[in-house]
Amino acid sequence: MNKYDDPKRTVQLLDQLEAVGLTDEILKSIHHLQGETIHSHRDHCFKLKTLFSAQTNMDVQKRLLFIFDSYDKYIKAPGNLAALKALARAAIVILPIKSK
């Protein structure tokens, strides 16, 4: 067990970020599956009966956590789409999506 392997934490982060303006477009930019939406990734996490075993899902959670922590610390006000997009770009620089 590690800090980023709990699907419930990913759902929590998706809920918190969606409340401040996270869009499917932004999630797609940080997810290893380019067609993934907030709804489909949340469903995937809900259906899991175990902790994440794939590093790719842990990496998505790390990116979501970076975006949430940064937004919560520096932006706070909901609806700043430009800031969310910039934080998503920064998350990819810090933790790139690995090529398949």
54-82 pLDDT tens trace: 899 999 999 999 999 999 999 989 999 99
Q: Residue 49 region, left (φ>0) first, then alpha (ψ -120 to 50), else beta?
A: alpha
State yes or no: pLDDT of 52 exceeds 70: yes
The domain ranges of the chain are 7-94
Q: Taking a C-beta distance cutoff of 8 angstroms, is the pair 73, 87 a contact?
A: no
14-49 pLDDT tens trace: 999 999 999 999 999 999 998 999 999 999 999 998
Kindly report the backbone phi and psi dihedral angles of residue 42, in degrees, each rounded to the nearest multiple of 5, phi listed first. -60, -45
Residues 53, 56, 21, 41, Cα dihedral to 10°: -60
State yes or no: pLDDT of 100 exceeds 70: no
